[in-house]
Structure 1
Amino acid sequence: MEHPKVAADYLEPASFFDIYNEEDFFLNNCLLKGEFIDQEKIQRPTLEQVVVNHVTFSSCDFNRADFTDVIFKSCDLSNCQLDEVSFYRVEFQNCKLIGTNFDQSYFNNVVFENCRMDMANLNRMNLKNTDFVNSSLKDVSFNENKLVKTHFRNCELTKLTALNTPLKGIDLSDCQFETIDLDRNYLRGLQVNAEQAGFLAQYFLDIKIK
């Protein structure tokens, strides 16, 4: 796992709205802090070597954005459209991403830590070196994905749906879920604990566990 290559102590303070000063909607080498961004719609914005701290993006649309070496700290990106976005060496720390749409995005060296991602859409994606840590992914749509070195650590996965997604090498043993919707055809190689195995046996095979 590669971490964002950003020298946080040397970033220049800036406003997100400075992105409009560049014809190609580009921000780099800066700190964004304490802003409220409401319903902004920008096609193909680019952020490089940026720390975003306590910023709320309310129902924004950043389709086909490019985020490289970016750290989001305590941000709210709920209900934002981040579809077809490229994330490379990006970290989300203590962020709120309820209902956020990541469909058809590309994740490479991405970490979600202590995040609330309930009802988010993560479909038809390529995920490589991606970690979900101590995060809530309740009722998340996680379908038709390609997973390489993707990890879930101590996450809440109740009502997560992962259909048409090969789960070989995925370890859910220290995660929690009351119910989960997986594709029987793609379970081979999935790692679970004994309690989870009992649920899956009952769910797919109608085996009663006493």
Structure 2
Amino acid sequence: MEHPKINEDYLETGSFFDIFNEEDFLLTNKDLKNDFVENQNISHPIIEQTVLDHVSFSGCNFNKLELTDVIFKGCDLSNCVFDEASIYRVEFQNCKMMGTDFDSSYLNNVIFNNCLLDLANLNKLNLKVVQFNDSSLKDVSFNENKLNKINFKNCELDKMNLLGTKLRGLDLSSCHFESIDIDQDLARGLKVNSEQAAFLARYFLGITVIY
């Protein structure tokens, strides 16, 4: 896992709206705190080597967003549209991301720590070295994805959909779910705990496991 390459001592205090000072909507080397961004519609914004601390995005649509070496701390990204994004060496820490749309995006070396992602759209993604730690992904659409070195640790996955996704090597054993939707023919190689295995036996085969 590669972490964001940021030297916070050299960051310049600013506002997210500094992005409009550049013709190509570029925001770089910034330290943003307690900013409120509402109903912004920007095509292909670029954010690099930046820390966003308690920045609230409300009703924003950032199609083809590019993030490189960025840290989000305690940000609210709920119900934003970040489809077709390119996200590289990025950390989301304690962020609220309910209903956020990342469809058709590329994520490489990305960490979600203690994030709320319920009802998010995470479909048709190309994910490489991505970690979800201590996060909630209830009712998340996680369909038709390409997975390479993906890790879920201590996450809430109830009613998550993982259809059209090859699950070989994926380990969900430390996570919790009452129900989950996956394709039987794509589940080979999935790692689960005994309780989860009992659910899958009932789900696919109608078998009830007695403890």
Fold match by TM threshold 0.5: yes
Q: Does 1:15 align with 2:15?
A: yes
- Counterpart secondary structure, 1:169: coil
Q: 4+ residue runs of structure 1 moved beyond 2 angstroms?
A: none
- Counterpart secondary structure, 1:97: coil
- CA offset at residue 10 of structure 1? 2.4
- CA offset at residue 185 of structure 1? 1.1
Instruction: Give the aligned length.
Output: 210
Residue 86 of structure 1 aligns with which residue?
A: 86
Residue 190 of structure 2 aligns with which residue?
A: 190
Residue 172 of structure 1 aligns with which residue?
A: 172
RMSD after superposition: 0.5
Return the alpha-carbon distance in structure 2 between the equivalents of residues 9 and 136 of structure 1: 33
Return the alpha-carbon distance in structure 2 between the equivalents of residues 9 and 179 of structure 1: 46
Percent of residue pairs bearing the same amino acid type: 61
Return the alpha-carbon distance in structure 2 between the equivalents of residues 178 and 194 of structure 1: 13
- CA offset at residue 9 of structure 1? 2.8
Return the alpha-carbon distance in structure 2 between the equivalents of residues 153 and 10 of structure 1: 33
- CA offset at residue 8 of structure 1? 1.7
- Counterpart secondary structure, 1:32: strand
- Counterpart secondary structure, 1:9: helix
Letter of the 1:136 counterpart: S
Return the alpha-carbon distance in structure 1 between the equivalents of residues 193 and 64 of structure 2: 38
Superposed CA offset, 1:111-157 (max 9, x none): 00000000000000100000000000000000000000000000000
Q: Does 1:51 align with 2:51?
A: yes
Letter of the 1:127 counterpart: L
Return the alpha-carbon distance in structure 2 between the equivalents of residues 146 and 8 of structure 1: 33
- Counterpart secondary structure, 1:17: helix
Gap regions ≥5 residues in structure 2: none
| Within-5 A mapping of 1:10-159 | 10-159=10-159
Superposed CA offset, 1:13-52 (max 9, x none): 0110010010000010111110110110000000010000
Q: TM-score, normalised on structure 1?
A: 0.99
Q: TM-score, normalised on structure 2?
A: 0.99
